[in-house]
Amino acid sequence: MPVNAVGREIPSLVGGRHLVPYKGAFERHARGWKVPLPLKPTSYAPDKMVSSIDDSFDKCGITHGACLSFHHHLRNGDHVINMVMDVAQKRGLKGLKLAQSALFSVHEPIVKMIENGTISSIEGSMNGPVGRTVSEGKMHDLAILRSHGSRVRAIHIGALKIDTAFVAAPIADVYGNANGREGKSACGPLGYALADSRYAKNTVVVTDNIQPYPVMPPVISQVYVDWVVKVDSIGDPEGIATGTMQPTTDPMRLDIARQTVELADACGVIKNGFSFQAGAGGISLAALDFIREKMKKKNIKAGFAHGGITGHIVKMLEEGLIEKILDTQSFDIPSIQSLNSNPKHHEIEPDFYANPFNRGQLVNMVDLAFLGATEVDTDFNVNVNTHSDGYLLHGIGGHQDVAAGSKMTVITCPTHRKNWPIVMDKVTNVTTPGETIDAIVTEAGIAINPLRDDMIEMAKEANLNVIDIQDLARIAEQKAGGKAPEPNYTDRVVAIIAYRDGTVIDVIYQVKK
Amino acid sequence: MPVNAVGREIPSLVGGRHLVPYKGAFERHARGWKVPLPLKPTSYAPDKMVSSIDDSFDKCGITHGACLSFHHHLRNGDHVINMVMDVAQKRGLKGLKLAQSALFSVHEPIVKMIENGTISSIEGSMNGPVGRTVSEGKMHDLAILRSHGSRVRAIHIGALKIDTAFVAAPIADVYGNANGREGKSACGPLGYALADSRYAKNTVVVTDNIQPYPVMPPVISQVYVDWVVKVDSIGDPEGIATGTMQPTTDPMRLDIARQTVELADACGVIKNGFSFQAGAGGISLAALDFIREKMKKKNIKAGFAHGGITGHIVKMLEEGLIEKILDTQSFDIPSIQSLNSNPKHHEIEPDFYANPFNRGQLVNMVDLAFLGATEVDTDFNVNVNTHSDGYLLHGIGGHQDVAAGSKMTVITCPTHRKNWPIVMDKVTNVTTPGETIDAIVTEAGIAINPLRDDMIEMAKEANLNVIDIQDLARIAEQKAGGKAPEPNYTDRVVAIIAYRDGTVIDVIYQVKK
């Protein structure tokens, strides 16, 4: 079997699909043209309102084997995927492809639809129960995992062809203009649905909040929308926006956050006008607090912060520590409110933020990013998709994109979780290639990628606890009390981990129960 | 010669181009696909800055026969078209196609470039000297006139293929994000350049104001920009935004404005939540004042106002008489300031506003529009391009789009200008078909299109001065002291007036000097 640039064996043909092995993070420069957009003239204001989701299936001609797409801004509060797929199931449709940007635990009803053949393939992120079902080999065809930027790329070049895009919209008008900013199901940005709405053959806006024309800004535009459906509720606010997210208080994790910020500072990253991306995890939020302190002490201001946004970043904007927020996804109520009211808080779309096949991505302009991992290995390869038992339980998010773009990418993680090491010789699956990772920060020290000898030198000069990655793996194994048990696989590939350029960085095998 | 649906003879073939005669305002419903967008991956942040416009010609490979596009937001203050075309001329390029959204008097240097063959064809609006040159037959190939919406349509379907789009940007960053809102050359919106930036093979941002990354909102996005050039000045603020525009004080024109508003009111249009489009001419601004009075008296609020925006509309927004402004072009300083500071003042692009080949256009949601004319005829056909002597002196703007979309479209004009009638039996050229025009309001009375017998009835009931269009033409001729002299044409077609769907509504012949 051909071996790719991170040492993984990649079968040439899986389920009728030819796989191109990953060749390196910056090796593929496709040229040519995107797939054309559908042309659908309307001379008059048509009546786009349809009475039900069921009706929209007729209008869009959805039949067996169709590819239906969804976005994940409503996160674990989303009602729309289940509602739409329930209609599909009741209509007896089979062999559908689900092309969501992400699934959460709330989408557990999808499991049954996979088992009964309503859904036969998935291209999108899976968090939790659906991923487990795929790992167990219960889906007829393949799952394909892509990063945020890669998903837009795939839609643009026709690798992911969407028949009908369903856009869950917290506010919309009768002509199809929509955004995520207002209404009982407000979720902030709506950009993950944007490429879908443009490139799908048909686009349906599903809303619980019709307002007078025109809803502004038209993040989803009338120009691309065919039909609008009013339903009672598109989501549960409790699951959409968690009230407030909290930094870790665990001393070990706090130490990781502190070391991460010390590393960035030692390497000269935290300076006036710098930019950063931070997530919503406990370590990331704690690291933000340390950055904030450092910025105040230095009396400097960041140019911009990007990411899934939390109230912690909003607070820094309001304190004048950040010039602009660029928001692809709101994680909590304060960030939704800030997007609505603060002119320095901007919504951006994933094409702008991460698509490697366009002429400019935000990730390329980010100075510092800290990301998580389920596993990292001595080649600095990172796994965020599977656990050490081989189960597919998480999506890629923007992991590959940010790591490839950001000038400094730091993985923050403990050496182990319970009795499974996180740092190891070889990750169960590679999501993000080591060449795009600059450092791993753990409670047992900082491992810096040998490609960055400049960083190693600066970190040592600052007396940081720099440790060889091999030593770190040994410590992790000791602390965990041994290696994790090997996954028990069949020889069937159930999922492909695409790299952001469309090559295959790894495949996931079926797990024997 | 085939005769089109407004009775004009349309040659089948002109300059190697097959012409499709206009068949009716709502007859053409093209299906299929738009032309694909170019795919240009960049994995790293590339250096997009080039040292000069001359340099950008090399980077983009601009050669003989290339199509170069420009936008007109800087209006009569624009420096960029002349600067770029001067480079083209100095490089000895020949046979270029100029695809500007509009030209003004400031672009008189273009005349020489037409005469010496640097430019051999133009697809875009021409106001003034360049139009005159085309009329006199001095350009080698054809000119094509299109409306705002039609221009986007033509770009989307590949009827207008742009090699390099030059975007004059009042503020931009090094990665190509740009808008028109700030800087010494601020012009407000920048949307007329949007389709160009997306569909051109190469896109060059020309700016006199580089600011830290990222310039937000990215009306022109890094995602589509190849190169950025910094120049000393992209425009003259005096010519970009005229200080303040004034309503007419001429009693005859004031009377036209008053009658227009009385007509709209008699027909039940001026009610809570209604929407309107008004231009920047003296009669339009006076009509706005009358609408404002009426709204205050009725204690109602408009849903939205759209258009090229002036301080008069901004004032109504600030007074709470309008819910939202949708702005495609700012005409003065107060409207630029309002776009920057008032969250109810939104920038929109011409695709959203007027492209007949998409799934939804703003013009279809407009209740009331008042437009101007150089001539109108007894079939309610309107000419806005040529004067009665046959000279091409004006662009179409959004005239066709708004007339086709708006529920009530009123042409406001005096019966005559000096000794040339404006209302007549047959216009010199048809720009906008009579079937999309609801009424002509003049100082001598209101002529209502027989297609709108509902309006005729309501106007008569309100005791308005309703007059037959034939009678109006006779009065116009009497007042002018006769007909205008017939234009003296050669048999060569120099320009095509495209309808918004791409069919040909009229052709313009060369004028004998």
Query: How close, in Å, is residue A133 to chain B by CA atoms?
Result: 35
State the pLDDT at residue B243.
63
Contact A216 B326 (CB under 8 A): yes
State the pLDDT at residue A244.
65
Confidence of residue B281 (pLDDT cuts 50, 70, 90): confident
Listing DSSP states for A164-186 in one string gives EEEEEESEE-TTS-EEBSSSTT-
State the pLDDT at residue A44.
65
Query: How close, in Å, is residue A304 to chain B by CA atoms?
Result: 8
- Which residue of chain A is at minimal alpha-carbon distance from B39? A33
State the pLDDT at residue A127.
85
Interface test with B, best of A33, A198, A216, A328 (most B CBs within 10 A): A216
Quick check: B44 pLDDT over 70? no
Query: Which residues in chain B have their CB less than 8 angstroms from residue A328's CB?
Result: none
Q: Are A437 and A412 in contact (CB under 8 A)?
A: no
Gap between the Cα atoms of A170 and B406, Å rounded: 29
Q: Are strands A49-50 and A227-230 parallel, antiparallel or unpaired?
A: parallel
Contact A39 B34 (CB under 8 A): yes
Contact A223 B324 (CB under 8 A): no
Exposure string over B297-320, b if 16+ CB within 10 A, otherwise e? eeeeebbbbbbbbbbbbbbbbeee
Quick check: B244 pLDDT over 80? no
ipTM of the complex model:
0.95
Query: Which residues in chain B have their CB less than 8 angstroms from residue A214's CB?
Result: 304, 324, 326, 362, 365
Range scoring the smallest mean pLDDT among A115-124, A300-309, B28-37, B393-402: B28-37
Query: Which residues in chain B have their CB less than 8 angstroms from residue A364's CB?
Result: 42-45
Gap between the Cα atoms of A231 and B129, Å rounded: 57
Q: Does a cis peptide bond (omega within 30 degrees of 0) precede residue B214?
A: yes
Evaluate the CA torsion angle A453, A458, A460, A461 in order and state its sign. positive
Quick check: B422 pLDDT over 70? yes
- Which residue of chain A is at minimal alpha-carbon distance from B275? A213
Query: Which residues in chain A have their CB less than 8 angstroms from residue B348's CB?
Result: 218
Interface test with A, best of B48, B216, B406 (most A CBs within 10 A): B216
Q: Does a cis peptide bond (omega within 30 degrees of 0) precede residue B217?
A: yes
Q: Are A263 and A446 in contact (CB under 8 A)?
A: yes
Contact B43 A26 (CB under 8 A): yes
- Which residue of chain A is at minimal alpha-carbon distance from B26? A43
Task: Of A159, A151, A154, A166, give the one whose Cα is nearest residue A71.
Answer: A166
State the pLDDT at residue A54.
98
A38, A364, A405 member nearest B33 (Cβ): A38
Task: Of A73, A42, A55, give the one whose Cα is nearest residue A219.
Answer: A73
pLDDT, tens only, B283-304: 999 999 999 999 999 999 999 9
C-alpha distances out from residue B474 to A374, B421, B426, B434, B481, Å? 85, 9, 12, 18, 11
pLDDT, tens only, B94-135: 999 999 999 999 999 999 999 999 999 999 999 889 999 999
Contact B358 A42 (CB under 8 A): yes
How many Cβ pairs closer than 8 A exist between chain A and B? 182
B34, B224, B357 member nearest A359 (Cβ): B224
Contact B33 A44 (CB under 8 A): no
What is the rounded average pLDDT for all residues in chain B?
Answer: 96
Gap between the Cα atoms of B500 and B127, Å rounded: 19
A45, A46, A360 member nearest B225 (Cβ): A360
Contact B223 A351 (CB under 8 A): yes
Contact B360 A222 (CB under 8 A): yes
A31, A323, A360 member nearest B39 (Cβ): A31
State the pLDDT at residue B147.
98
B41, B218, B361 member nearest A30 (Cβ): B41
State the pLDDT at residue A270.
98
Query: Which residues in chain B have their CB less than 8 angstroms from residue A213's CB?
Result: 303-304, 365
Task: Of B279, B267, B410, give the one whose Cα is nearest residue B335.
Answer: B279
- Which residue of chain A is at minimal alpha-carbon distance from B201? A33
Task: Of B335, B282, B286, B339, give the one whose Cα is nearest residue B313.
Answer: B335
User: Higher model confidence: residue B269 or residue A46?
Assistant: B269
Range scoring the smallest mean pLDDT among A28-32, B90-94, B307-311, B474-478: A28-32
Query: How close, in Å, is residue A174 to chain B by CA atoms?
Result: 11
Average pLDDT over residues B209-228: 97
Mean pLDDT per 10-residue segment, chain A (513 residues): 96 94 88 88 78 98 98 96 98 98 96 98 94 97 97 97 98 97 96 97 97 98 97 93 81 97 98 92 93 97 95 96 97 94 97 95 96 97 97 96 97 96 98 98 98 98 98 98 94 98 97 90
Q: Are B236 and B209 in contact (CB under 8 A)?
A: no
Tell me which H or E stretch contains A488.
none
State the pLDDT at residue B245.
79
Average pLDDT over residues B76-99: 98
Average pLDDT over residues B82-98: 98
Q: Are B76 and B185 in contact (CB under 8 A)?
A: no
Query: Which residues in chain A have their CB less than 8 angstroms from residue B48's CB?
Result: 360
At B485, list the tokens.
């002299």
Query: How close, in Å, is residue A491 to chain B by CA atoms?
Result: 34
Q: What are phi and psi of A126, to 5 degrees?
A: -130, 125
State the pLDDT at residue B122.
98
State the pLDDT at residue B45.
67
Contact B43 A404 (CB under 8 A): yes
A175, A218, A346 member nearest B217 (Cβ): A346
Query: How close, in Å, is residue B232 to chain A by CA atoms?
Result: 25
- pTM reported for the whole predicted model: 0.96
How many Cβ atoms are within 10 Å of A492's Cβ, its own excluded? 10
Query: Which residues in chain A have their CB less than 8 angstroms from residue B26's CB?
Result: 43-44
pLDDT, tens only, A173-204: 999 999 999 999 999 999 999 999 999 999 99
Query: How close, in Å, is residue A169 to chain B by CA atoms?
Result: 18
State the pLDDT at residue A240.
86
State the pLDDT at residue B43.
59
Quick check: B447 pLDDT over 80? yes
C-alpha distances out from residue A358 to A156, A347, B144, B198, B258, Å? 10, 19, 32, 11, 52
Domains of chain B, earliest start first:
45-240 (3.40.1080.10), 251-487 (3.40.1080.10)
State the pLDDT at residue A131.
96
Tell me which H or E stretch contains B126.
strand B125-126
Q: Are B195 and B332 in contact (CB under 8 A)?
A: no
Query: What angle, rounded to 10 degrees, do the helices at B251-266 and B453-461 form?
Result: 110
